[in-house]
Amino acid sequence: MFRIYLALILVSATVLVTATVSGQTYRTITVQDGGTIRGTVKWDGALPRVPTLAISKDPQICDPASHKTRDLERILIGPQGGVANTVIFLKSIGSGKAMDIPAQRQFLDQRICRYEPHILLVPADGTLQMKSSDATLHTVHMDGAATYNLPFPFPNQVISRQMSTPGLVNLKCNGGHTWMNAELFVVPHPYYAVSDENGKFELSNVPAGEYTLVAWHESWTVARQEGSFDVLTERRVDRPVFTPPRIWEQKVNVEPHREATVSFVIGQK
Protein backbone atom coordinates (compact mmCIF):
# COMPACT_ATOMS: atom_id res chain seq x y z
CA MET A 1 0.00 0.00 0.00
CA PHE A 2 1.27 3.43 -0.75
CA ARG A 3 0.15 6.86 0.30
CA ILE A 4 0.90 10.01 -1.61
CA TYR A 5 0.58 13.53 -0.34
CA LEU A 6 -2.79 14.86 -1.39
CA ALA A 7 -3.19 18.15 -3.21
CA LEU A 8 -6.49 19.93 -2.79
CA ILE A 9 -7.44 21.48 -6.09
CA LEU A 10 -10.39 23.81 -6.45
CA VAL A 11 -11.16 23.41 -10.15
CA SER A 12 -14.31 22.82 -12.12
CA ALA A 13 -15.60 19.26 -12.12
CA THR A 14 -17.09 19.90 -15.53
CA VAL A 15 -13.59 20.44 -16.92
CA LEU A 16 -12.37 17.25 -15.26
CA VAL A 17 -14.99 15.11 -16.96
CA THR A 18 -14.34 16.43 -20.45
CA ALA A 19 -15.38 14.20 -23.32
CA THR A 20 -12.00 14.14 -25.01
CA VAL A 21 -8.54 13.13 -23.92
CA SER A 22 -5.72 14.92 -25.75
CA GLY A 23 -8.15 15.72 -28.53
CA GLN A 24 -9.21 12.09 -29.01
CA THR A 25 -12.51 10.48 -28.08
CA TYR A 26 -12.36 7.56 -25.64
CA ARG A 27 -12.00 4.24 -27.49
CA THR A 28 -13.24 0.86 -26.31
CA ILE A 29 -10.58 -1.84 -26.63
CA THR A 30 -9.89 -5.33 -25.33
CA VAL A 31 -7.79 -4.65 -22.25
CA GLN A 32 -4.77 -6.92 -22.11
CA ASP A 33 -3.17 -7.53 -18.71
CA GLY A 34 -5.32 -4.98 -16.88
CA GLY A 35 -4.98 -4.13 -13.22
CA THR A 36 -7.24 -2.94 -10.41
CA ILE A 37 -7.31 0.21 -8.31
CA ARG A 38 -8.84 -0.24 -4.86
CA GLY A 39 -8.93 2.19 -2.02
CA THR A 40 -10.74 4.14 0.64
CA VAL A 41 -11.84 7.68 1.37
CA LYS A 42 -11.48 8.55 5.06
CA TRP A 43 -12.41 11.60 7.09
CA ASP A 44 -9.72 13.40 9.10
CA GLY A 45 -10.45 15.71 12.02
CA ALA A 46 -13.55 16.82 13.89
CA LEU A 47 -16.85 15.79 12.34
CA PRO A 48 -18.44 18.58 10.29
CA ARG A 49 -21.77 20.17 11.01
CA VAL A 50 -24.33 18.35 8.87
CA PRO A 51 -26.69 20.73 7.02
CA THR A 52 -30.41 20.10 7.59
CA LEU A 53 -33.62 21.81 6.50
CA ALA A 54 -37.08 21.88 8.01
CA ILE A 55 -39.62 19.68 6.25
CA SER A 56 -42.02 22.47 5.41
CA LYS A 57 -44.24 20.79 2.82
CA ASP A 58 -46.19 17.52 2.49
CA PRO A 59 -45.11 16.16 5.89
CA GLN A 60 -47.46 13.17 5.58
CA ILE A 61 -45.44 12.05 2.55
CA CYS A 62 -42.03 13.57 3.22
CA ASP A 63 -41.82 12.95 6.97
CA PRO A 64 -43.79 9.84 7.97
CA ALA A 65 -41.58 9.36 11.04
CA SER A 66 -42.11 13.00 12.17
CA HIS A 67 -38.42 13.93 12.30
CA LYS A 68 -39.33 17.54 11.36
CA THR A 69 -36.01 18.10 9.55
CA ARG A 70 -34.14 16.40 6.72
CA ASP A 71 -30.42 15.73 6.41
CA LEU A 72 -29.30 17.13 3.05
CA GLU A 73 -26.95 14.11 2.63
CA ARG A 74 -24.07 16.29 1.55
CA ILE A 75 -21.56 14.51 3.79
CA LEU A 76 -22.01 10.94 5.05
CA ILE A 77 -19.31 9.61 7.39
CA GLY A 78 -19.46 6.04 8.68
CA PRO A 79 -18.57 4.85 12.20
CA GLN A 80 -15.03 3.95 11.09
CA GLY A 81 -14.50 7.28 9.33
CA GLY A 82 -15.28 6.15 5.78
CA VAL A 83 -16.76 8.86 3.54
CA ALA A 84 -19.58 7.77 1.25
CA ASN A 85 -20.67 9.38 -2.03
CA THR A 86 -17.19 10.46 -3.10
CA VAL A 87 -16.78 10.17 -6.88
CA ILE A 88 -13.47 8.55 -7.85
CA PHE A 89 -12.26 8.62 -11.45
CA LEU A 90 -9.24 8.60 -13.75
CA LYS A 91 -8.59 12.12 -14.93
CA SER A 92 -7.33 11.22 -18.41
CA ILE A 93 -7.59 7.91 -20.22
CA GLY A 94 -7.84 7.51 -23.98
CA SER A 95 -8.85 3.86 -24.28
CA GLY A 96 -9.93 0.92 -22.16
CA LYS A 97 -12.83 -1.34 -21.30
CA ALA A 98 -16.41 -0.89 -22.47
CA MET A 99 -18.88 1.14 -20.43
CA ASP A 100 -20.05 -0.81 -17.38
CA ILE A 101 -21.62 1.86 -15.17
CA PRO A 102 -24.00 0.12 -12.69
CA ALA A 103 -27.63 0.35 -13.78
CA GLN A 104 -28.74 1.60 -10.36
CA ARG A 105 -26.60 4.73 -10.84
CA GLN A 106 -28.55 5.51 -14.02
CA PHE A 107 -32.04 5.38 -12.52
CA LEU A 108 -33.39 8.20 -10.33
CA ASP A 109 -36.29 7.67 -7.95
CA GLN A 110 -38.04 10.35 -5.91
CA ARG A 111 -39.07 8.55 -2.74
CA ILE A 112 -40.17 10.03 0.60
CA CYS A 113 -39.12 13.37 -0.91
CA ARG A 114 -35.54 12.30 -1.51
CA TYR A 115 -33.59 11.75 -4.71
CA GLU A 116 -32.28 8.17 -4.76
CA PRO A 117 -29.42 7.59 -5.34
CA HIS A 118 -27.82 10.85 -4.24
CA ILE A 119 -24.97 10.42 -6.76
CA LEU A 120 -25.79 9.35 -10.33
CA LEU A 121 -23.44 8.28 -13.13
CA VAL A 122 -24.66 8.18 -16.73
CA PRO A 123 -22.45 7.51 -19.79
CA ALA A 124 -22.18 10.35 -22.31
CA ASP A 125 -24.97 9.88 -24.87
CA GLY A 126 -26.58 7.44 -22.45
CA THR A 127 -30.04 7.64 -20.92
CA LEU A 128 -31.13 8.69 -17.46
CA GLN A 129 -34.41 7.10 -16.37
CA MET A 130 -36.50 8.83 -13.72
CA LYS A 131 -39.69 8.28 -11.75
CA SER A 132 -41.41 9.47 -8.59
CA SER A 133 -42.71 7.03 -6.00
CA ASP A 134 -44.47 9.84 -4.10
CA ALA A 135 -48.10 10.89 -4.43
CA THR A 136 -47.23 14.57 -4.66
CA LEU A 137 -45.80 16.87 -7.31
CA HIS A 138 -42.01 16.72 -7.62
CA THR A 139 -39.78 18.20 -10.29
CA VAL A 140 -36.30 17.31 -11.46
CA HIS A 141 -34.67 20.62 -12.26
CA MET A 142 -31.21 20.16 -13.82
CA ASP A 143 -28.50 22.71 -14.47
CA GLY A 144 -24.94 22.28 -15.65
CA ALA A 145 -24.04 19.83 -18.40
CA ALA A 146 -27.78 19.12 -18.88
CA THR A 147 -30.69 21.55 -18.49
CA TYR A 148 -34.16 20.11 -17.95
CA ASN A 149 -37.08 20.99 -15.70
CA LEU A 150 -39.27 17.90 -15.58
CA PRO A 151 -42.53 17.63 -13.60
CA PHE A 152 -43.62 14.38 -11.97
CA PRO A 153 -47.29 14.88 -11.05
CA PHE A 154 -48.13 11.15 -10.92
CA PRO A 155 -46.35 8.31 -9.14
CA ASN A 156 -44.50 5.49 -10.86
CA GLN A 157 -44.43 6.92 -14.37
CA VAL A 158 -40.94 6.46 -15.82
CA ILE A 159 -39.53 9.05 -18.20
CA SER A 160 -36.12 9.15 -19.88
CA ARG A 161 -33.74 11.81 -21.10
CA GLN A 162 -30.52 11.47 -23.06
CA MET A 163 -27.43 12.91 -21.42
CA SER A 164 -25.35 14.18 -24.35
CA THR A 165 -22.71 16.44 -22.82
CA PRO A 166 -20.11 15.13 -20.34
CA GLY A 167 -19.90 17.08 -17.11
CA LEU A 168 -21.58 17.76 -13.80
CA VAL A 169 -25.34 18.24 -13.42
CA ASN A 170 -26.97 19.60 -10.26
CA LEU A 171 -30.47 18.34 -9.42
CA LYS A 172 -33.10 20.06 -7.28
CA CYS A 173 -36.87 20.06 -6.81
CA ASN A 174 -38.89 23.16 -7.67
CA GLY A 175 -42.03 21.71 -6.10
CA GLY A 176 -41.33 23.35 -2.74
CA HIS A 177 -39.23 20.46 -1.37
CA THR A 178 -36.12 22.58 -0.99
CA TRP A 179 -34.07 19.90 0.78
CA MET A 180 -34.13 17.58 -2.26
CA ASN A 181 -30.77 17.61 -4.01
CA ALA A 182 -28.52 15.24 -5.94
CA GLU A 183 -25.52 15.27 -8.29
CA LEU A 184 -25.20 13.63 -11.69
CA PHE A 185 -21.97 12.97 -13.56
CA VAL A 186 -22.29 12.46 -17.31
CA VAL A 187 -19.13 10.43 -17.82
CA PRO A 188 -16.90 10.12 -20.92
CA HIS A 189 -15.35 6.78 -19.90
CA PRO A 190 -16.15 3.86 -17.57
CA TYR A 191 -13.43 4.41 -14.97
CA TYR A 192 -15.69 6.06 -12.41
CA ALA A 193 -16.79 4.79 -9.01
CA VAL A 194 -18.70 6.07 -5.99
CA SER A 195 -17.39 5.27 -2.52
CA ASP A 196 -19.70 3.14 -0.38
CA GLU A 197 -20.80 3.62 3.23
CA ASN A 198 -17.37 2.44 4.39
CA GLY A 199 -15.55 4.81 2.05
CA LYS A 200 -14.40 1.94 -0.22
CA PHE A 201 -14.12 2.09 -4.01
CA GLU A 202 -12.78 -0.01 -6.89
CA LEU A 203 -11.85 0.54 -10.54
CA SER A 204 -11.36 -2.72 -12.42
CA ASN A 205 -9.72 -3.81 -15.68
CA VAL A 206 -7.57 -0.68 -15.95
CA PRO A 207 -4.91 -0.74 -18.70
CA ALA A 208 -1.40 -0.77 -17.26
CA GLY A 209 0.14 2.68 -16.93
CA GLU A 210 0.45 5.76 -14.75
CA TYR A 211 -2.64 7.85 -14.12
CA THR A 212 -3.97 10.75 -12.10
CA LEU A 213 -6.74 9.53 -9.81
CA VAL A 214 -9.28 12.15 -8.72
CA ALA A 215 -11.53 12.17 -5.66
CA TRP A 216 -14.46 14.59 -6.01
CA HIS A 217 -16.90 15.45 -3.26
CA GLU A 218 -19.75 17.92 -3.28
CA SER A 219 -19.43 20.67 -0.71
CA TRP A 220 -21.16 20.35 2.65
CA THR A 221 -20.67 24.04 3.53
CA VAL A 222 -23.53 26.49 2.90
CA ALA A 223 -22.40 29.69 1.17
CA ARG A 224 -25.75 31.52 1.17
CA GLN A 225 -29.50 31.14 0.85
CA GLU A 226 -31.10 31.64 -2.55
CA GLY A 227 -34.72 32.40 -3.27
CA SER A 228 -36.78 30.34 -5.73
CA PHE A 229 -40.47 29.74 -6.36
CA ASP A 230 -42.68 26.80 -5.55
CA VAL A 231 -44.24 25.92 -8.92
CA LEU A 232 -47.61 25.16 -7.28
CA THR A 233 -48.03 28.04 -4.85
CA GLU A 234 -45.73 30.53 -6.68
CA ARG A 235 -44.47 31.53 -3.26
CA ARG A 236 -40.84 32.34 -2.63
CA VAL A 237 -38.90 29.66 -0.81
CA ASP A 238 -35.27 29.66 0.28
CA ARG A 239 -32.83 26.91 -0.52
CA PRO A 240 -29.16 26.63 0.45
CA VAL A 241 -26.39 27.29 -2.07
CA PHE A 242 -23.16 25.46 -1.31
CA THR A 243 -19.52 26.37 -1.79
CA PRO A 244 -17.67 24.73 -4.75
CA PRO A 245 -16.97 20.99 -4.75
CA ARG A 246 -13.81 19.68 -3.10
CA ILE A 247 -11.28 17.85 -5.29
CA TRP A 248 -8.16 15.86 -4.45
CA GLU A 249 -5.67 14.13 -6.78
CA GLN A 250 -3.10 11.35 -6.54
CA LYS A 251 -0.76 9.66 -8.98
CA VAL A 252 -1.24 5.93 -9.27
CA ASN A 253 0.73 3.31 -11.19
CA VAL A 254 -1.27 0.33 -12.47
CA GLU A 255 0.72 -2.83 -13.19
CA PRO A 256 -0.56 -5.84 -15.20
CA HIS A 257 -2.65 -8.23 -13.08
CA ARG A 258 -1.76 -6.31 -9.94
CA GLU A 259 -3.74 -4.28 -7.44
CA ALA A 260 -2.85 -0.68 -6.65
CA THR A 261 -4.16 0.54 -3.28
CA VAL A 262 -4.87 4.21 -2.77
CA SER A 263 -5.99 6.07 0.35
CA PHE A 264 -7.61 9.50 0.20
CA VAL A 265 -7.88 11.41 3.46
CA ILE A 266 -10.23 14.38 3.33
CA GLY A 267 -11.45 16.90 5.86
CA GLN A 268 -12.37 20.49 6.55
CA LYS A 269 -8.97 21.89 5.59
HSE of 193, CA atoms in CB hemisphere, 13 A: 23
Mean per-residue pLDDT for 38-45? 97
Q: What is the pLDDT of residue 24?
A: 55
Lowest mean pLDDT among 145-149, 175-179, 229-233: 229-233
Single pTM value for the model: 0.89
pLDDT tens digits, one per residue of 95-112: 999 999 999 999 999 999
> 268 in the Ramachandran plot: left (φ > 0), alpha (ψ -120 to 50) or beta?
alpha
Residue 12 pLDDT level (bands cut at 50, 70, 90): very low
For the structural domain made of 7-21+30-267, what CATH number should be given?
2.60.40.420
Residue 14 pLDDT level (bands cut at 50, 70, 90): very low
Q: Where are the domains of the chain?
A: 7-21+30-267
Mean pLDDT is highest, among 22-31, 135-144, 225-234, for 135-144
Q: What is the pLDDT of residue 20?
A: 36
% of the chain residues with pLDDT over 90: 82
Average pLDDT, the chain: 90
Residues 12 and 81: beta-carbon distance below 8 Å: no
pLDDT tens digits, one per residue of 121-175: 999 999 999 999 999 999 999 999 999 999 999 999 999 999 999 999 999 999 9
Q: What is the pLDDT of residue 239?
A: 86
pLDDT at 11 over 50: no
